[in-house]
Chains A and B, each alone.
Chain A
Amino acid sequence: MTALSSPTPATAPPWTCPFCSLHCDSLALRPQDDGSWALDGTDCPRALAGLAQVPSRAVTGTPLVNDRPATLDEALDAAAALLRGRQAPLVGGWATDILGARALFRLTAALGAVGDHAHGEALTTALRAQQDRGGYTTTLAEVRERADLVLCVGSQPSAHYPEFFRRCAAGEPVNGAPRRIVFLGAPVDAALPATITQSLPLAGDLFDTLSLLEALVAKRPVRNAPEALAALAQQLRDAHYPVLVVETGALPAHGALVIEAVARLVNLMNLTGRAAVISLGGSDGGYSAQQAHTWLSGLPLRTRFGPAGMDHDPVRHSTARLLGQQEADALVWVASITPEDAVPETAVPRVVFGHPALPVPTGDVVFIPVATPGIGAGGQLYRSDGTVIVPLHPVIDQALPALPAVVDGLLQRLKDAVRAPGRPKPDRIPPGDRSMYPSNEGHESP
């Protein structure tokens, strides 16, 4: 990174960082002549790592069809040919913004496919807790203005979300009194003032610890309770607005039970006082995909639009399982935000819409590079608190198409194929093939 060489014009929109779900949106980013970036407002390692992987000038992103360069049209034709007639396709990855997710939903429904995100396991952990219990949540501004006790459950948030504590002004007092930041089962963040932080060991595993803590907060009799945990329970009871931080991607197996335990604890505290949870997760467009899929269809990701109907199953319809058990016969993989969301290894044919630096596997693969949201494309992304959507402002022309346009091109080809002479008329399309017929674009009756 080089220093700012000229002041940012007053009219320039701020830059929103797409590289983690905190989506810091008060930054300034400008391309440099050498292809690097000048970033002002943060030294966040995740932002810098994301920027290091995308040049600040137009890239010669060439679509590939079976390892050979192709034009965009040729690649879309090949993608349509590859997907046509598939019985059980999987639309995976979904690392895109909300506008991209809208387009991918239509593709998923049209293909009769299952949709699952690259971080589907972590999303599903949060989803299952939501489906079984619900919860009480809060957002960054509430934490900043009100939380006098921040309890990090099982992980150090700043390890994966480097700006988290700055965003909630953790080091600053709240209502004139210092905040307490407690790390349960995780080391303190050394960047915070030592006077306000504390690390507590788990009493058993995370599940045991939370059960014990709940009992202590409820003042149920607990034999041989660790003193530190009893003291934490007292702190939780005394605090005006304790906020529990849960990083869904860092939870152990059966992490939904941890989230449920946290929700129980917060509900208990809300009987007489106030408390809430803030969750960290949903990066790489995870929450955007989950939310858009849910509002459009009524059901979250991991739903199959199959002949039997809309079959939602958060366990059976995971990417790892569908590919591992050879239950998918084609894969559409979308990884437009970073090149880290690697295309899964699989024997089935793949269509990849990705970041220009995404490693492209060889073989039966159609690859179309797409613009990076927040760099070469605008759009919107959900923040980690799941409530706020931040707009993305493109900084350069990457000379790459945005994902929605590419998906629309593919949908159009699939539709044309269904309507082409020799194909059955719409009302006689066999049920298995019906979902190939995308709709909702027609403004006139057929």
Chain B
Amino acid sequence: MTSYRITGGRVIDPANPSLPERRDLGVRDGRLVDLHPNEPVDETIDATGSVVMAGGIDLHTHIGGGKMNLARLLLPEDHRRGLEAAALPDNLLEVASCGSCAPGTLATGYRYVQMGYTSAFEPAMVASNARQAHLEMGDIPILDHGAYVMLGNDELFLRLLAEGADFERVRDYVGWTIHASKALGVKVVNPGGISAFKFNQRKLDVDEAHTHWQVTPRHIVHTLARAITELGLAHPLHIHASNLGVAGNIASTLATIEALGGLRAHLTHVQFHAYGTEGPMKFSSAAQQLAEAVNANKNVSIDVGQIMFGQTVTASGDTMRQIANAGHATPRKWNGGDIECDAGCGVVPFRYREQSYVNALQWAIGLELFLLVDDPWRIVLTTDHPNGGPFTSYPHLIRLLMDKSFRDEQLSKLHPDVAANAALKSMKRELTLQEIAIMTRAAPARLLGLADRGHLATGAAADIAVYREDANAEVMFTEPTHVFKDGVLVAQRGRIVAVPQPGVHFAKVDFDAGIERHLADRLRATSSIDLRNRVIGHDELCSCCNGGRLLPAECHAAFGATSA
């Protein structure tokens, strides 16, 4: 394996504040190593005039699983240039793959790596569709990956809650599901709402009962958060809260935080959950209220789900909310699905328009959240790809956050009421490189428990991006001069130069294995997959990810550590 010395760059490594910014990095056998100044290396990279960061980590991006493939099947127009066919790659290392808001898996890998990202995580894996998620992610070149399995809308979980089952049983069932689906974390989407929609319930507030099971989202959220805590998963419960996209949903978002009772959780794409009902349109920014709650509740982390103007496709497990939005589909077609007494799926193409009051305000709300949350370690940069916009818009988003004059210029082009009145207009904060590095690599690594990623200390995995410094952050972050994945130079000035097979992160969770026997009849009753085929073994996982590395994460179980 080639060894490297990266010299002369400014090392932006917020996880290691004691290390000097001006330092050389040594890379050998996939790791960062201490090199004696005279020690020979195969190649020296002159990073003078550049910023050196750990590889980017996207902790919430829809990159694998049935709904993204439905989106691809739904939108052949996303894979053309007007009436022209999509171009074949001009790089012999790339295999033909195309698309912008719903790119093929191969294109997904190439585009992420070209921006300096080296890991990405699928947040909405359906347990009964987990094989597809792992297969698709396994076909994303270069990027390490993992997924959070969805719970809290599966009939078995809801039945256990409805029956008042012992918490330990519920916890072990959560553990079994993580084990069976080879998940890294657990996500709850519209707690109880996807299931409720199967019973034709159209709305579910945090303290409202599911029409059939009579359990509330509050109960579901707290139970899952407690189970995740006791199972010792590094990543806390990942929450897509109730009432996504609904004016006034700030109330349910705040109630969800309260429902945690101090337990850790990660609230995702909060831009879609920070809406008030003020003003003539009865739709207003509640970014201030949400940011205050995040600042006050140290147990909570968030990612933003910034929207970007233009065509995209929304892909979500939240059938209850997606069917409510289906009338806005652009182009006018959409997919929905009820899945295996387990989950749901809704795919609605959408175009965010600058002249739409609602879209313009959504854009402002996202940016306000970035600027109002004090602690960058608890806020992660996402567009909820592709729901707010494709991940390829990250460099543009970074410029909006780092450059007030550019931000103001963009704001002035939007719907006049938003341009004139948004609180964003008066916000002077410009994020620093340190803060961007935290939000795009150091914080997500920490929130996922990836101890050797997201930083550049000796011993860390050599996932590195070298960006040429530029006054225009969008230019700077679009095309790093060098990207290393586990010590292999994989991209140079936007060109893919090697295509190593990535690894898959999953939690090695400890639970009472007797739960499978105990729940066998019920597991059979809520699935049409033979129970013996429910667990994805290591061999099958390895085959799904094309022989990539299995990266099991130890959990530190703390049974009984939380109160009921």
Interface residues of B (CB under 8 A from A): 2, 64, 66, 68-70, 72-74, 76, 78-80, 84-88, 92-99, 102-107, 126, 128-129, 131-132, 135-136, 139, 141, 155, 197-200, 323, 326, 333-342, 347, 488-489, 497-501, 525-530, 532-533, 540, 543, 546
Contact = CB atoms under 8 A, between A and B. Distances in A.
Nearest to B202: A272
The 4 closest A-B pairs by CB, nearest first: A309-B85, A298-B104, A298-B99, A140-B528
A141 B527 contact: yes
14 contacts: A13-B532, A13-B533, A131-B76, A134-B334, A134-B335, A141-B527, A240-B200, A274-B199, A294-B69, A295-B139, A299-B104, A309-B84, A380-B131, A445-B497
Contacts of A429: 92
Interface string A2-19: 000000000001101000
B93 A298 contact: no
B88 A388 contact: no
B163 to A, nearest CB: 17
Interface string A79-110: 00000000000000000001100100010011
A205 interface: no
B499 A141 contact: no
Contacts of B94: 439-440
Contacts of A310: 79, 85-88, 96, 98
B72 to A, nearest CB: 5
Nearest to A304: B85
A131 B73 contact: yes
A22 B85 CA distance: 35
Contact of B333 (A106, A134, A386, A446): A134
Which secondary structure dominates where chain B touches chain A? Answer: mixed
Contacts of B92: 426-427, 429, 434, 437, 439
Nearest to B109: A440
Contacts of B80: 312
Contacts of B72: 294-295, 298-300
A181 interface: no
Contacts of A139: 128, 337-340, 528
A274 B98 contact: no
A136 B527 CA distance: 19
Interface in A289-339: 290-292, 294-300, 305-312
A32 B497 CA distance: 53
A285 B79 CA distance: 24
Given A131-B333, A294-B104, A439-B94, 9 more contacts: A106-B95, A138-B338, A295-B139, A298-B86, A298-B97, A309-B85, A389-B129, A443-B499, A445-B497
B69 A291 contact: yes
Given A134-B335, A274-B200, A442-B498, A99 B543 contact: yes
A273 interface: yes
Contact of A109 (B96, B132, B500): B96
Q: Which of A13, A102, A132, A445 has the most CB of B within 10 A?
A: A445
A298 B526 contact: no
A26 interface: yes
A443 B105 CA distance: 18
Interface in A23-43: 25-26
Interface residues of A, number: 77
A412 interface: no
A179 interface: no
Contact of B68 (A14, A295, A437, A445): A295
B340 A387 contact: yes
B528 A167 contact: yes
Interface in A122-178: 127, 130-142, 144-146, 167
Interface in A259-301: 267, 270, 273-274, 276, 290-292, 294-300
Contacts of A390: 529, 533
A63 interface: no
Nearest to B128: A388
A312 B155 contact: no
A141 B104 contact: no
B505 to A, nearest CB: 20
A309 B139 contact: no
A255 interface: no
B338 A296 contact: no
Nearest to A429: B92
Contacts of B84: 308-309
Nearest to A276: B338
A297 B135 contact: no
Contacts of A306: 85
A296 B104 contact: yes
A445 B142 CA distance: 13
Given A291-B69, A312-B76, A273 B200 contact: yes
B500 A443 contact: yes
Q: Which of A141, A309, A378 has the most CB of B within 10 A?
A: A141
Given A14-B533, A130-B74, A138-B337, A391 B499 contact: no
Nearest to B77: A131
A160 B263 CA distance: 52
A138 B527 CA distance: 13
B73 A298 contact: no
Contacts of A106: 95
Interface in A364-382: 378, 380
A299 B98 contact: yes
A435 interface: yes
A145 B155 contact: yes
Nearest to A132: B333
Contacts of B106: 296-297, 440
A345 interface: no
Contact of B95 (A99, A127, A267, A440): A440
Contacts of B525: 145
A309 B89 CA distance: 9
Contact of B198 (A142, A298, A309, A386): A142
Interface in A408-446: 426-427, 429, 434-435, 437-446
Contacts of B326: 267
A137 B501 CA distance: 34
Contacts of B139: 102, 292, 295-296
B218 to A, nearest CB: 25
Interface in A223-272: 240-241, 267, 270
Contacts of B98: 297-299, 310
B532 A298 contact: no
Contacts of A442: 93, 498-499
B330 to A, nearest CB: 13
Contacts of B73: 127, 130-131, 290, 294, 300
A106 B139 CA distance: 11
B530 to A, nearest CB: 4
Nearest to B343: A387
A427 B74 CA distance: 36
Contacts of B528: 139-141, 144, 167, 388
A25 B338 contact: no
A298 B97 CA distance: 6
A138 to B, nearest CB: 5
B530 A25 contact: yes
A171 to B, nearest CB: 16
B499 A440 contact: yes
A300 B98 CA distance: 11
Nearest to B137: A295
Q: Which of B66, B95, B335 has the most CB of A within 10 A?
A: B95
A124 to B, nearest CB: 12
A309 B129 contact: no
Nearest to B537: A391
Nearest to A133: B333
Given A142-B338, A294-B73, A445 B86 contact: no
B327 to A, nearest CB: 10
Contacts of A130: 70, 73-74, 335
Nearest to A16: B533
Q: Which of B84, B128, B339, B501 has the most CB of A within 10 A?
A: B339
Contacts of A134: 74, 333-336, 347
